[in-house]
Amino acid sequence: MTIDKTALVTGANRGLGRAAALALAARGVRVLITHRGEAAEAERTVEEVRAAGGTAAALRLDISDLPSFAPFLSALREQLERWGTSRLDILVNNAGVGIFGPLEDVTADDFDTVMDVNVRGTFFLIQSLAPLLTGGGHVINVSSSLTRHTSPATSVYSASKAAVEALSRTLAAELGPRGIRVNSVAPGPTATDFNGGAMRDDAEMRRALAGQTALGRVGEPREIGDAIATLATDGLRWVTAQRVEVSGGAFL
């Protein structure tokens, strides 16, 4: 069956965003990936999608720079038109930043950076793109398993992701009458380059985390990507306002 849908995945030049873009493309979805300036990395994601027979394009977007949203929206509309559509079916808000440290080390600038990107940027991007999603669109916000369990020196990051989950539930109620679903996906410990690639490269950390996970290991990016792509399918079209944790049973 031919799938005529288009997704936009923020921060899809690497990590979980790239995995989500590839998983969506594997299911026949056209994918627009955004990057903050890492054009070469973004192009590699586009090439991977195309090599697998999918359709993709890359656009630059810094979600902390609200004045850039208007020109970005114009570029987005132009790309959609090239693909013969005027609507967006799936928005995956993956782009985010993590700054970690104990209470006494966190600065006001650290706090503002995390909140500006993870909360403010996510909220206003949904506001900007909602008109393109009306009538069956789906917003998936990437959160973290840290909203359920605790870990040292993660207070600001965890708070930002808890805010994302609260936004998701409230916007699900607000946008539901317009046919838009809103859910959040909360990855657990995953082997990506996030936070300096610690969970990918630090064998001791991986062993410690694996021992606190029901399935006995840390996750892989493609497993998070598959979960996001599955949530976006029509088979789960009656699911909204939900937090879906993809953690292998971490910290139960």
Catalytic residue, chosen from 31, 157, 161, 190, is: 157
Partners of 57 in the beta sheet? Answer: 32
Angle at CA of residue 223, ends 222 and 224, nearest 5°: 90
Cβ distance 244 to 213 under 8 Å?
no
Partners of 58 in the beta sheet? Answer: 33
DSSP sequence for 84-145: T-S---EEEE---------GGG--HHHHHHHHIIIIIIHHHHHHHHHHHHTTT-EEEEE--G
Helix axes 155-175, 122-133, angle to 10 degrees: 20
Cβ distance 88 to 133 under 8 Å?
yes
What is the C-alpha separation between 177 and 180, in angstroms, rounded? 7
Give catalytic status of residue 185 as yes or no: no
Question: CB-hemisphere CA count at 13 Å for 239?
Answer: 16
Q: Provide the token pair at 213.
A: 């996970």
Active site residues: 157
